[in-house]
Structure 1
């Protein structure tokens, strides 16, 4: 099942994508007089019972509640997570290109909700940076409260997966030993286009992941190159903090970022650029860039 958040009356509302149509679940739930579905988090918290009911929806059975996908404005597919947790240097070849030893434990940092942006949203390049970089990432969406989860049980706590671009202002990021400032500017976490429920992902640890910049292939890898796989990340992070439904874990980026190029070839993102990140079985996340 593919879930989206789309804009209506200047707010994000949840929807399901069926045959290039978006089913407005808030409108559908009112029409059928069931418990209101007003956010993706509602759906995640309600878990399998609601999803089972929604599995049988068709465009025909949701007359008056569907919109053409091409006509809606998508927001970040999970617009209100409690936490956005990011993992640094989690691909072997990315560690090599940045001349860094592979970490012994996951390197964690955070982004904040101000950094969230939607598919096809134009991202402002802050005037304070001259070195804005892309980072394609598989995202884990947590499905239920998780604490001290063993790796072999991690899938029980995952709701689904999506795509993020962990935008990074490298000149700001490297000012100090803490990466936060260069990672959490407004719009620095485009997310989407959809959340794909875990039952539709054959193996999250074996997915092709690519990035193109203005049509030029820049990143091409597979999640099998991750140092800490999805189950290990959920387990390790849940040892440190309680994870809640809708929490996001950005699992790291593969090689091919601008920072990894020889210095003379490091041409950072500028106004007019377009970045497209694709992960098989999930879709494509596209964003353009404009000057602040």
Structure 2
């Protein structure tokens, strides 16, 4: 088969056909990587994979990260400690077998509370409900471009504290203590406007809204500004909705996108396996990093 691709939404996302990840050639990988770099979200359907094959493809992108510490703890795929289970299934004893349950997952960037956040994440669909559970993505470069110049000038030298207390489902992470004072919660500072490390593209870097805080502002001032930023970052014109099919593999760039998940019926099951590529860069302010030419 010949690799073909089509744009999914104006701001981001590309659907690729004619590629089997289980037997990917170096030339096909290079083509996928270029498309991903341009469109930020890569969708491949009808992939016939094993966990070993999924992990093998993931490792072509870089060193793998172990599963994050979610409200349900660290949920690995048996025999594959670097793969992470996203599922609402439970054991006979009622213990969650995966993370995030069946509720809505709010807009977020994966593990942005770390000093060196993961570079990329990928999901492979194993089991799906009859409705719900769609994943939405938002383009942070497009959101930044949509902002008025005075707003960009205001935020490009500011930072956000990325809270590490809660996961994207709103659950307190294992070992953390609930804290709803954003000025005091545990987190890491990152610039609001950064450059994508590989391309130099200017992009917002936001994390998740809950407990986010802009140091130097009062809490009401910070909340007002963050609400304004999030309105641009999640506007319909910069988002896409992915309706899952069995065998889908979706790869996204954590430095240039946010994502969220719709809730789904609690009496149905949704299981996906996720890989994560370890971060190679600390997010750097766009106002203090080299020009794009120097990233070539």
TM-score strictly above 0.5: no
Q: Which has the higher contact order (CA 8 A, sep 6+)?
A: 2
The TM-score, its normalising length taken from structure 2, stands at: 0.24
TM-score of the superposition, structure 1-length normalised? Answer: 0.25
More strand, by proportion = 1
